[in-house]
Amino acid sequence: CGMPEGVFSMVHGSGQIVGSALVQHPITKAVGFTGSLKGGRALFDLAAARPEPIPVYAEMGSLNPVFVLPGALEERGEAFAQGLCGSVTLGVGQFCTNPGLVLGLEGDSMEKFISAAEEAFSNAEPGTMLNPGIRDAYEAGLGVLKEAGGVSLLAKSGTAVDAQATQAGAHVWTTDIDAFVGNDELSEEIFGPSTLVVKARDKAELIRAANKLDGHLTATIHGTEKDLEEHMDLVEILERKVGRIIFNGFPTGVEVCHSMHHGGPYPATTDGRSTSVGTAAIFRFTRLLSYQGFPQSGLPDELKDANPNGIFRLVNG
Positions marked active-site: 59, 96
What are the CA-CA distances from residue 165 to residues 104, 156, 289 (Å)? 36, 18, 52
15: left (phi over 0), alpha (psi -120 to 50) or beta: left
Please report, for residues 79, 103, 269, the alpha-carbon distance to residue 228 in angstroms, rounded to integers and kept in the order given: 19, 15, 28
Residue 251: CB atoms within 10 A of its CB come to 24
What are the angstrom distances between the C-alpha of 198 and each of 77, 115, 173, 202, 224? 15, 14, 9, 12, 20
Tell me if 251 sits within 8 A of 93, measured CB to CB. no
